[in-house]
Amino acid sequence: MAKPVERLISLVARLRSPKGCPWDRKQTHISLIKFLREEARELEEALRYGQWHEIEDELGDLLLQVLLHSQIAKEKGFFDIQDVALSQYRKLVRRHPHVFGRRKLQTAAEVLDSWAGIKRKERSQRHRDLQCRRKALQ
């Protein structure tokens, strides 16, 4: 038996398949935005009130949104949920040099400052990369 996450990924792919659900097949990144917001709001409420059963349920609903968006992207040939997970893994390692590298940070405030600086550098690099790609296309 496959692990629960693998089973859910397969289920979402089946729902979006030609023999799946007409409603699920019809969804796009744009049409799902309202559901993403709704699920995030419902999770926020459950968290604020410490409603553990509801937190579990709402986390599942939010996970479904992530899987649907990833499946749509996979169908378009952009990325899949494995790429999303790998990208997040790499980002967390990069942004935690105090855990995975030699940098020494002692307080949560130092961590936040470090995270913000790393994020700024990443955005700047992405901007430079985009400019280079645009120039190459001209």
71 by Cβ neighbours in 10 Å (0-12 / 13-18 / 19+) ranks as: buried
Predicted local confidence at residue 43, as pLDDT: 98
The DSSP code for 17 is: S
17-76 pLDDT tens trace = 999 999 999 999 999 999 999 999 999 999 999 999 999 999 999 999 999 999 999 999
Give the closest residue to 80 by CA, choosing from 90, 72, 92: 72
Is residue 90 domain-resident?
Answer: no
Across 74-102, average pLDDT: 96
Q: Is residue 73 part of a domain?
A: yes
Q: What is the CATH number of the domain that holds 45?
A: 1.10.287.1080
Residues 6+ away with beta carbon under 8 Å from 68: 12, 16, 24, 27, 32
Give the other-Cβ count within 10 Å of 57's Cβ. 14
Domain housing 36: 1-85
Q: Count how many domains the chain has.
A: 2
Are residue 66 and residue 117 in the same domain, yes or no?
A: no
